[in-house]
Amino acid sequence: MTQPLTQDDILLALRDCFDPEVKLNLVDLGLICSITLAPDPHATPAFPRQHVTVCMTLTTPQCPASGLIFEQVNNRLACIPQISKVDVQLVWEPKWTPHRISAAGRAQLGLE
């Protein structure tokens, strides 16, 4: 039997998803606001599969890459066998600001 996924597992996977304009992964850019994992007793096959909800924001409401970004998140998480369903929700609170960029992201962007 496989172990249930953790929020850290999801964050690690989401580091493969990038904002195409900034060239920084969504986690270090600070776009991921919260991750919720819940058992999915109705999943087929029935090994411990989980429903994952990702609440995320964008750098701006007019972000032209929003569709591509959401598609990346859905596709990346749908590849994980332990996930039965992915739900990506756009939120505007907390509002994104450059202060949400991680230290690693700041270093990569030369903002240190």
Give the tens place of pLDDT for each residue, 56-100.
999 999 999 999 999 999 999 999 999 999 999 999 999 999 999
Domain residue limits, the chain: 7-104
* CATH code of domain 7-104: 3.30.300.130
The band of 104, judged by pLDDT with boundaries at 50, 70 and 90, is: very high
Entry pTM: 0.90
The bridge status of strand 83-90 relative to strand 18-19 is unpaired
